[in-house]
């Protein structure tokens, strides 16, 4: 399939997991992909995976907590490809493992800086470039933790609720300008983020599977498929939504 031929797609957190799978999926459908990540090694590895699959990609270093990095990432994308059609703001962290009253202010600030302000910074610099296209699309990575409670991850949960707030507001602000803005809300997905969680509490593996009515965790490719749908013409009348990709867990 070549549904994204000639489209320029910028993905943050593309060095691993969901971002990497989405970079590959867009490239396999003909897009020019910008792989942005704070890890140069992981980002370069994604680029090489995409190229081995016959796709087009380049790496741009970006720490989404640094305003100048985010600005430079968008500028470098425009310099390389002349435009920006699609952005997937996906970089995120999960570093919290305690109940709210045991929380630490530095960890709170770090999670909010990456997960919320990072998405805000990205959209702030992407939107003016994207409004130059007749149609464009942003997808932000929230979580099912953005739709409900996440015990021992209250700050993470708050950060993902905030991503949905940014998404909905931007969708309304720019709806008439041809820019659609949506969020994906993955359930537990088989990435390094999940591996880190299971490493800390291995006894939770079965419990986590059972959180999903389908009886398993998700694969990054299943989130990628939803992102491609949201960025495609098939979703032309869809904006401002927070789409669960969660094996039914939000239905419980």
Binding site for ligand NAD (CB under 6 A): 12-13, 15-19, 37-39, 42, 62-65, 90-94, 114, 141, 143, 186, 188-189, 191-194
The encoded tokens of residue 61 equal 């270093």
Tell me whether residue 63 or residue 85 sits nearer to ligand NAD (CB atom).
Answer: 63
Closest CB 233 distance from ligand NAD, rounded Å: 25
Crossing angle of helices 17-28 and 40-52, in 10° steps, is: 30
Closest CB 159 distance from ligand NAD, rounded Å: 8
Tell me whether residue 15 or residue 55 sits nearer to ligand NAD (CB atom).
Answer: 15
Closest CB 66 distance from ligand NAD, rounded Å: 8
Spatial strand order of the sheet with 136-141 comes to 56-61, 32-37, 8-12, 86-89, 136-141, 179-186, 242-245
Tell me whether residue 19 or residue 247 sits nearer to ligand NAD (CB atom).
Answer: 19
Closest listed residue to residue 119, CA positions, set 153, 80, 146: 146
Tell me whether residue 53 or residue 95 sits nearer to ligand NAD (CB atom).
Answer: 95
Q: What does the alpha-carbon distance between residue 219 and residue 186 come to, in Å, rounded to a whole number?
A: 10
| Cβ neighbourhood burial of 234 (10 Å; 0-12, 13-18, 19+) | exposed
Closest CB 6 distance from ligand NAD, rounded Å: 26
Q: Do residues 171 and 180 touch, judged by C-beta distance below 8 A?
A: yes
Q: Any residues with CB less than 8 A from the CB of 160 and at least 6 apart, and which?
A: 115, 142, 143, 145, 146, 185
Tell me whether residue 136 or residue 157 sits nearer to ligand NAD (CB atom).
Answer: 157
Closest CB 134 distance from ligand NAD, rounded Å: 29
Residues with a known catalytic role: 156
Closest listed residue to residue 182, CA positions, set 246, 123, 241: 241
């Amino acid at each position: 399939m070549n549904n994204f031929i000639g489209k320029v797609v910028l993905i943050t957190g593309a060095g691993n997991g969901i971002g990497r799978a989405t970079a590959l999926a867009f490239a396999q459908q003909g897009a020019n992909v910008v792989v942005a990540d704070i890890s140069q090694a992981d980002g370069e590895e994604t680029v090489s995976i995409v190229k081995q699959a016959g796709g087009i990609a380049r790496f741009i270093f970006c720490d989404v907590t640094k305003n100048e990095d985010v600005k430079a990432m968008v500028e470098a994308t425009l310099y390389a490809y002349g435009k920006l059609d699609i952005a997937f703001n996906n970089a995120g962290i999960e570093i919290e493992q305690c109940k709210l009253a045991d929380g630490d202010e530095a960890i709170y600030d770090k999670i909010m800086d990456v997960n919320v302000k990072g998405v805000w910074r990205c959209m702030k610099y992407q939107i003016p470039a994207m409004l130059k296209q007749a149609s464009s699309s942003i997808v932000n990575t929230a979580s099912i933790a953005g739709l409900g409670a996440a015990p021992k991850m209250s700050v993470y949960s708050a950060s993902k609720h905030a991503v949905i707030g940014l998404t909905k507001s931007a969708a309304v602000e720019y709806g008439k300008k041809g820019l659609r803005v949506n969020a994906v809300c993955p359930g537990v997905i088989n990435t390094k983020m999940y591996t880190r969680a299971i490493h800390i509490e291995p006894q939770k593996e079965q419990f986590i599977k059972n959180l999903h009515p389908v009886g398993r965790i998700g694969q990054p490719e299943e989130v990628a498929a939803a992102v491609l749908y949201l960025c495609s013409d098939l979703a032309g009348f869809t904006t401002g939504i927070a789409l669960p990709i969660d094996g039914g867990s939000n239905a419980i």
